Amino acid sequence: MNKLKIAIQKSGRLFEDSIKLLKDCGIFYNDGRDQLKVECETFPMEIYFLRNSDIPQYVEDGVVDIAIVGENLLIEKQKDIETVQKLGFSKCRVSLAVPKNVDTDDISFFQNRKIATSYPNTLRNFLQENGIQAEIHLISGSVEIAPNMGLADGICDIVSSGSTLFKNGLRETRTILKSEAVIAKNKNLSSEKEHLLEKFLFRVKAVLKAKNTKYILMNVPNDKIAQVSDILPVLKSPTVIPLADEGWSSIHSVIEEKRFWEVIDELKQAGAQDILIIPIDKMVI
């Protein structure tokens, strides 16, 4: 039987979130120590634990079928592979940064200067698009120390919170691109592998939908049911259950978590009481 081969980062910021996603999708494996390949017990899948920078090449070559990888890496490596699903975690950005004593944010600062980076292709494309001539100094790690060592006038690097820049006396001036974890695939999958990928993506989408959605319950006077229902952004229509107290019902629905605080006052003013928000484990539409 064919198995879907997936690559994930063997260590680093993407590893734990990738493993959690697989487990949330009901995909489990024997956690052997220091294994580079494991077979899953509950889904026809093999997991390859690879060095992050090598993953795009393995996907393009067909050594693995799919991968969980950062968009920023795909853009930098410029491989002929396809992004099929954004995952919403490991969000970051690739940005330019300069020493704190530089008093301008204008990218013209970098004209004819040196920039240290681990993302030469991404940086080169940005500079060309903006008509900036600069010397790119490639560094594989610890890019932030380059200005302090006199190797560069500024840097282009991945940024999450910005704390590393601050600790090294730098400040962010321009975001080149925003990134998050994605699922990418080889463009030449067999029909059987495509079918397995569809089944996997079905699970992934159910998990992602549940993370952003909550189950909402509230007690509402019967004469306010229509008004409350109009406020709720629901899939089809809310569930209405009569209560023991005459003239009252319980309304059950779902709501995007980010929308809850937008509508809570409207719900209360419309007569809703005893409002409960409950996490959803999976959501199949």
**Integer distance in angstroms from the first to the last C-alpha of the chain?**
29
At 24, list the tokens. 């949330």
Question: In the chain, what percentage of residues exceed pLDDT 70?
Answer: 97
At 27, list the tokens. 């995909």
pLDDT at 208 over 80: yes
With 0-12 CB in 10 A as exposed, 13-18 as middle and 19+ as buried, what is 124?
middle
pLDDT digits 0-9 by tens, 166-190: 999 999 999 999 999 999 999 999 9
Residues 1 and 40: beta-carbon distance below 8 Å: no
pLDDT digits 0-9 by tens, 46-77: 999 999 999 999 999 999 999 999 999 999 99
Question: In the chain, what percentage of residues exceed pLDDT 90?
Answer: 72
Backbone angles phi, psi at 131, to 5 degrees: 65, 30
Whole-number pLDDT of residue 142: 85
Query: How many CB atoms within 10 Å of residue 67?
Result: 27
- Pick the range with the lowest mean pLDDT from 58-72, 116-130, 270-284: 270-284
Higher-confidence position of 105 and 1? 105
pLDDT at 275 over 70: yes
Whole-number pLDDT of residue 32: 60
Higher-confidence position of 262 and 79? 79
CB proximity list for 18: less than 8 A, separation 6 or greater: 8, 9, 68, 181
Instruction: Place 235 in a pLDDT band, splitting at 50, 70 and 90.
Output: low
C-alpha dihedral (85, 86, 88, 91), degrees to nearest 10: 140
Whole-number pLDDT of residue 262: 81
Whole-number pLDDT of residue 140: 84
Mean pLDDT for 223-238 is: 82
Higher-confidence position of 233 and 78? 78
Residues 123 and 115: beta-carbon distance below 8 Å: yes
Whole-number pLDDT of residue 98: 96
At 224, list the tokens. 């306010």
The whole-model pTM stands at 0.83
Instruction: Place 81 in a pLDDT band, splitting at 50, 70 and 90.
Output: very high
With 0-12 CB in 10 A as exposed, 13-18 as middle and 19+ as buried, what is 61?
exposed
Mean pLDDT for 254-273 is: 85
Residues 18 and 52: beta-carbon distance below 8 Å: no
At 153, list the tokens. 């006038």
Residues 66 and 59: beta-carbon distance below 8 Å: yes
Whole-number pLDDT of residue 209: 87
Q: What are the beta bridge partners of residue 93?
A: 159, 178
Whole-number pLDDT of residue 121: 96
Q: Average pLDDT, whole number, for the chain?
A: 91
Domains of the chain, earliest start first? 4-89+180-210 (3.40.190.10), 92-179 (3.40.190.10), 213-279 (3.30.70.120)
Whole-number pLDDT of residue 100: 94
Distance, in Å, from the CA atom of 196 to the CA atom of 202, rounded to the nearest integer, reads 10
Compute CA distances 9 → 16, 19, 107, whole Å. 9, 10, 33
pLDDT digits 0-9 by tens, 11-52: 888 999 999 999 999 999 887 667 889 999 899 999 999 999
Distance, in Å, from the CA atom of 127 to the CA atom of 235, rounded to the nearest integer, reads 45
